[in-house]
């Protein structure tokens, strides 16, 4: 049938993209800056960095929370308050563990990036030492998007060897005169501890009020942590089919919630319009998928779904694998996915009744 050639072509295209994709452990290229800035600047000066970040402190705190580094927000701001950052040039090929940015007014964080521009970009660098660890931060001059470059443990200095105490010496007994009893030496009296002393109050000058000691300042209240934004809209466009039997389009929309750094749950509704085949019919879809990202540029998922035709409805098991096409802060993000689904009561003959395919997933 017509679907056989379409299926072979779709499978070949998907395998070509998977085969040509970078290694799964490789960082995602970052080729441009300034399209999703915290602050758009032409010539940002070192002394302007801290005042601007104070101005956007709520967004900065939210970015640190989304990056899973909420504890570093206050040490980072305190370091910039005490010392101006140094100017540096970030060369192509430099890895960044994460970078925060703003898209449509919303703070977001992109992870595991590598600068892939044609030339170095100018930035400011500051190193924050927190709990015996140095955190190396980069702030591009063009956009003020804070990025974590690397983390280095601070080596602890070796303790000096303990000084050896000289052996205690015992004074020799006095010489004994002939015909007299031996002379014994009385032990020295025990040392007396000096009485506790209270510091005297400051001297009062005549004609002036008494001087009182100021109480210690109250403890500084920490700024409340801001919860990270974890939900966004999703759209799927693709094809599904039963080999040599029928072909379907795949149209779904839904919402994804990322409840942990590597786990997300997605609810989708849509349709699978019949494109080719005489023994099948179009169907309504309602799917729920749990997705796991073992690395930043590969994911796998499993879930359950409803395949509801006009004459028959079944509950499906859904399996997915895929790769992100991009993770750019300045535009929409896309993922390429392959999906297989089969009704639970037809799992024994899934090669005959199962549907498989793939498509493009758009992340808004």
pLDDT at 328 (0 to 100):
62
84 DSSP assignment: P
pLDDT score for 261: 78
Exposure on the CB side of residue 115, measured as CA atoms within 13 A: 22
pLDDT of residue 168: 63
pLDDT of residue 31: 86
- H helices then E strands: how many in the chain? 5, 16
The residues, ordered by sequence, that sit 6+ positions from 236 with a Cβ below 8 Å of its Cβ are 250, 251, 252, 253, 268, 270, 337, 359, 360, 361, 362
* pLDDT, one tens digit for every residue, the chain (364 residues): 444 554 555 555 555 544 444 444 457 888 888 888 888 887 788 999 999 999 999 999 999 998 989 999 999 999 999 999 999 999 999 999 999 998 888 899 998 899 988 899 999 999 999 988 999 999 999 999 999 999 998 887 776 776 666 666 666 666 666 666 665 556 666 666 666 555 555 555 555 555 444 455 555 544 444 444 577 889 999 999 887 678 899 999 999 998 887 899 999 999 999 988 777 889 999 999 999 988 878 999 999 999 998 888 889 999 999 998 876 655 678 899 999 999 898 888 877 788 889 999 998 8
Q: Are 121 and 115 in contact (CB under 8 A)?
A: yes
Per-residue burial over 215-239, b = 16 or more CB atoms within 10 Å of its CB, e = otherwise: eeeeeeeeeeebebeeeeebbbebb
pLDDT reported for residue 3:
45
Domains and CATH numbers, the chain: 26-153 (no CATH), 231-363 (2.40.160.20)
Where residue 229 falls (left for φ over 0; alpha for ψ -120 to 50; beta otherwise) is beta
Reduced to 3 states (helix: H, G, I; strand: E, B; else coil), residue 223 is: coil
């Amino acid at each position: 049938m017509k679907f056989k050639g379409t299926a072979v072509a779709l499978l070949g295209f998907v395998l070509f993209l998977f085969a040509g994709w970078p290694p799964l452990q490789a960082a995602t290229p970052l080729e441009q800056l300034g399209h999703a800035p915290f602050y758009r600047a032409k010539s940002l000066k070192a002394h302007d960095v801290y005042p601007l970040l104070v101005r956007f402190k709520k967004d900065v705190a939210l970015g640190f929370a989304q990056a899973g580094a909420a504890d570093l927000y206050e040490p980072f701001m305190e370091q910039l308050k005490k010392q101006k950052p140094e100017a540096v040039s970030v060369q192509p090929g430099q890895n960044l563990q994460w970078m925060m940015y703003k898209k449509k007014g919303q703070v977001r964080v992109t992870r595991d990036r590598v600068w892939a521009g044609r030339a170095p970009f100018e930035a400011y660098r500051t190193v924050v030492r927190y709990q015996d660890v140095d955190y190396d931060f980069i702030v591009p001059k063009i956009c003020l998007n804070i990025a974590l470059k690397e983390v280095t443990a601070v080596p602890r200095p070796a303790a000096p060897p303990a000084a050896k105490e000289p052996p205690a010496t015992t004074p020799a007994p006095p010489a004994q005169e002939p015909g007299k009893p031996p002379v014994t030496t009385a032990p020295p009296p025990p040392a007396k501890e000096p009485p506790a002393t209270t510091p005297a109050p400051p001297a009062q000058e005549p004609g002036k009020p008494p001087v009182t000691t100021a109480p210690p300042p109250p403890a500084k209240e920490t700024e409340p942590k801001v919860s990270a934004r974890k939900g966004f809209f999703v759209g799927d466009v693709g094809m599904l089919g039963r080999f040599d039997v029928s072909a379907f389009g795949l149209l779904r929309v839904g919402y994804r919630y990322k409840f942990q750094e590597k786990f997300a749950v997605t609810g989708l509704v849509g349709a699978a319009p019949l494109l080719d085949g005489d023994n099948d019919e179009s169907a309504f879809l309602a799917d729920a998928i749990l997705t796991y990202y073992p690395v930043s540029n590969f994911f796998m998922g499993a879930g359950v779904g409803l395949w509801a035709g006009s004459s028959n409805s079944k509950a499906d098991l859904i399996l997915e694998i895929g790769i992100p096409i991009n993770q750019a802060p300045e535009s929409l993000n896309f993922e390429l996915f392959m999906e297989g689904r089969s009704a639970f009561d037809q799992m024994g003959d899934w090669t005959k009744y199962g549907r498989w395919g793939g498509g493009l997933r758009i992340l808004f």
